[in-house]
């Protein structure tokens, strides 16, 4: 193994560059000064000729022997010691002149004292070893960035669900703090866009000052999220007014433009109430829709929609709004009275009945019939309306029972007359009403009633027959048979003299199926055209 010192004389070894003559360390493969390759080259023929003559080849070897003791004790004369007649250092190589352009550099001349690298054939310098590739240099930072990003992503995924809740709580605390301290202008900044469009800053400040001037001093604590979804949320907190006990109170917020805002809806309550009182239901519906868009979570918004849509005859939408009101009132106690909740339930059941969803309607009526503290005036329409659902389900026995209960409860007013009429329908005592209904029915909207049309036909036939053949004129007879419940079968029967048989023949000209409860008629038999 090649070391940095001579094994014989322990002199430091060096590699002399054949290009620039710089002394390099033994382990170097490239010159530290010019970067040329340090390679060993065999001596040229010229150098071999200039070498001093060596010993004759046939001279025998001379062997000298000494004892081991002499060898150990005389270390100064050891063969590892540098001999006294060491050769002087070779002169420094002259600086290499760069060859002229276009010409190859002359071959380097070597001497006996030239290093081994000078005796090797001249080779083109190898490219310098490049430093670490850019990819390897950037690999560490890139991996670090990726790991940090993944860690941050995991932390965000863990914390993301709680961020909206934290923002909501902070907004609620800011709003309640501003209200409690009388900073209504700052509280106005936290209102939603719809609230600001419906109420100006001046109106909001004035209404708030008027309201809280009459209210005792209050304070709040324990603000927490009661419910939250994508677009709305409800905050529950503890409220203490004056010297009263702490109690739970609620406040709603809506989310718009990626922030939570407070809806302000009290300014719309009075206009809606006034529109309902004067029965301006389209305007009440418009204001109710505006109220619902401002605060969809408040049950009062859905409640006004329930009333407005019901009175407008929009029963499908009314059923949705009334049901939403009842559901929200259970989780968001806004102080609905028992009478108000009864009205919402009643409108919901009636809307289902008008939509002919009778099974659901009957279930709602059963809940209403168990409502505590109902009067006879409130029980009367419930039984009558449930009987209506039973009729459409063709459960006539239960319908008759409900009508009879309603007859005992409805003692005055239009409801009493309506119950008497419907009791006659369903009990089979309304045959005359069925005949009258059949006579007043029309085959088409532009045609006269059936009774009038039949009278015209008989008058024309009488004119054609004349007085002498008056006995040939047919005679009509209207009959009604109770089928079941409010359904009756009505016959228009004629008696006609047959001149051939000299006998009177009876024939049903028309047969109708009449439902007096639903005021519908069906033609089961009619004369063929041309007869």
- 127-136: pLDDT as tens digits: 555 555 666 6
- By C-alpha distance, which of 105, 111, 120, 118 is closest to 87? 111
Give the contacts of 433 (CB within 8 A, at least 6 positions apart): 424, 425, 516
Q: In CATH, what class is 161-261?
A: alpha beta
- 301-314: pLDDT as tens digits: 999 999 999 999 99
**In the structure, what pLDDT confidence band is assigned to residue 404 with cuts at 50, 70 and 90?**
very high
Q: What is the per-residue burial (b if ≥16 Cβ within 10 Å, else e) of 422-437?
A: bbbbbebebbebbbbb
pLDDT on residue 455 = 87
- 332-386: pLDDT as tens digits: 767 788 999 999 999 999 999 999 999 999 999 999 999 999 998 899 999 999 9
pLDDT on residue 97 = 59
pLDDT at 179 over 50: yes
Residue in this structure with the two tokens 């670090």, named with its chain if needed: 144
**In the structure, what pLDDT confidence band is assigned to residue 457 with cuts at 50, 70 and 90?**
confident
- 195-210: pLDDT as tens digits: 998 889 999 999 999 9
* Average pLDDT of the residues in 418-428: 93
* Average pLDDT of the residues in 93-103: 54
pLDDT at 45 over 90: no
User: What is 433-525's CATH number?
Assistant: 3.30.565
- Name the residue with higher pLDDT: 126 or 203: 203
Q: What is the per-residue burial (b if ≥16 Cβ within 10 Å, else e) of 62-78?
A: eeeeeeeeeeeeeeeee
| 285-to-271, 305, 343 alpha-carbon distances in Å | 11, 6, 17
Indicate the range of 74-78, 134-138, 480-484 predicted with least confidence: 74-78
Distance CA 514, CA 423 (A): 16
pLDDT on residue 405 = 94
- Name the residue with higher pLDDT: 25 or 418: 418
pLDDT at 120 over 70: no
* Average pLDDT of the residues in 379-399: 94
pLDDT on residue 82 = 52
**In the structure, what pLDDT confidence band is assigned to residue 38 with cuts at 50, 70 and 90?**
confident
Length of the chain: 531
Q: CA angle, 278 as apex, 277 and 281 as ends, to 5°?
A: 90
pLDDT on residue 459 = 84
* Average pLDDT of the residues in 452-463: 85
- Name the residue with higher pLDDT: 89 or 87: 89
Residue in this structure with the two tokens 């005036």, named with its chain if needed: 377
pLDDT at 212 over 70: yes
91 contacts 21 by C-beta, under 8 angstroms: no
* Average pLDDT of the residues in 34-55: 64
pLDDT on residue 377 = 87
Q: What are the structural domain ranges in the chain?
A: 1-49+74-82+89-99+108-122, 161-261, 433-525
**In the structure, what pLDDT confidence band is assigned to residue 142 with cuts at 50, 70 and 90?**
confident
pLDDT on residue 141 = 80
pLDDT at 278 over 90: yes
Burial class of residue 228 (count of CB atoms within 10 Å of its CB; 0-12, 13-18, 19+): middle
pLDDT on residue 530 = 45
pLDDT at 58 over 90: no
Percent of the chain residues topping a pLDDT of 70? 78
pLDDT at 434 over 90: yes
Reported in sequence order, the residue ranges of 202-332 that DSSP labels E, i.e. its strands, are 218-228, 232-241, 247-256, 259-261
Mean pLDDT of the chain: 82
- 220-260: pLDDT as tens digits: 999 999 888 888 898 999 999 888 899 988 888 999 888 99
**In the structure, what pLDDT confidence band is assigned to residue 119 with cuts at 50, 70 and 90?**
low
pLDDT at 462 over 60: yes
Strands 232-241 and 15-16: unpaired
- Name the residue with higher pLDDT: 18 or 290: 290
The SS3 call for residue 388 is helix
pLDDT at 103 over 70: no
Distance CA 354, CA 350 (A): 6
């Amino acid at each position: 193994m090649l070391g940095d010192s001579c094994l014989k004389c322990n002199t430091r070894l060096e590699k002399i560059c054949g290009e620039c003559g710089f002394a390099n360390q033994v382990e170097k493969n490239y010159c530290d000064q010019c970067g040329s390759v340090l390679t060993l080259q065999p001596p040229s023929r010229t150098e071999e000729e200039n070498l001093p003559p060596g010993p004759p080849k046939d001279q025998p070897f001379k062997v000298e022997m000494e004892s081991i003791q002499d060898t150990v004790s005389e270390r100064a004369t050891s063969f590892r010691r540098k001999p006294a007649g060491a050769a002087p250092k070779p002169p420094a190589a002259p600086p290499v002149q760069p060859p002229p352009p276009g010409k190859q550099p002359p071959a380097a001349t070597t001497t006996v004292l030239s290093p081994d690298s000078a005796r090797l054939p001249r080779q083109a310098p190898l490219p310098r070893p490049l430093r670490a590739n850019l990819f390897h240099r950037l690999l560490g930072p890139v991996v670090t960035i990726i790991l940090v990003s993944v860690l941050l992503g995991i932390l965000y995924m863990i914390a993301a669900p709680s961020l909206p809740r934290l923002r909501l709580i902070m907004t609620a605390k800011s709003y309640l703090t501003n209200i409690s301290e009388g900073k209504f202008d700052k509280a106005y900044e936290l209102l939603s866009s719809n609230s600001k469009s419906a109420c100006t800053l001046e109106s909001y400040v004035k209404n708030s000052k008027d309201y809280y001037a009459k209210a005792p001093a209050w304070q709040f604590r324990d603000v927490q999220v009661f419910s939250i979804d994508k677009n709305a949320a409800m905050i529950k907190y503890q409220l203490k007014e004056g010297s009263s006990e702490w109690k739970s109170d609620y406040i709603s917020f809506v989310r718009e433009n990626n922030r939570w805002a407070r809806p302000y809806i009290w300014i719309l309550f009075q206009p809606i109430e006034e529109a309902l009182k004067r029965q301006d239901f389209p305007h009440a519906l418009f204001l109710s829709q505006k109220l619902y868009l401002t605060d969809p979570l408040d049950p009062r918004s859905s409640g006004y929609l329930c009333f407005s849509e019901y009175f407008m005859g929009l029963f499908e939408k009314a059923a949705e709004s009334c049901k939403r009101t009842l559901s929200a009132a259970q989780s968001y106690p806004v102080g609905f009275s028992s009478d108000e909740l009864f009205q919402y339930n009643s409108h919901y059941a009636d809307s289902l009945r008008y939509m002919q969803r009778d099974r659901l309607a009957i279930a709602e009526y059963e809940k209403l019939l168990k409502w505590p503290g109902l009067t006879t005036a409130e029980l009367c329409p419930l039984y009558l309306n449930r009987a209506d659902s039973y009729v459409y389900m063709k459960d006539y026995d239960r319908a008759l029972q409900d009508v009879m209960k309603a007859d005992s409860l409805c003692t005055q007013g239009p409801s009493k007359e309506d119950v008497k009429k419907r009791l006659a329908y369903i009990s089979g005592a309304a045959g005359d009403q069925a005949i009258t209904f059949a006579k007043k029915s029309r085959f088409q909207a532009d045609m006269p009633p059936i009774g009038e049309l039949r009278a015209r036909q008989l008058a024309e036939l009488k004119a054609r027959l004349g007085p002498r053949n008056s006995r040939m004129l047919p005679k009509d007879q209207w009959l009604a048979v109770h089928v079941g419940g409010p359904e009756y079968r009505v016959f228009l029967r004629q008696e006609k003299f047959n001149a051939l048989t000299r006998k009177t023949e009876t024939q049903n000209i028309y047969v109708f199926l009449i439902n007096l409860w639903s005021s519908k008629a069906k033609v089961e038999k009619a004369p063929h055209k041309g007869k």
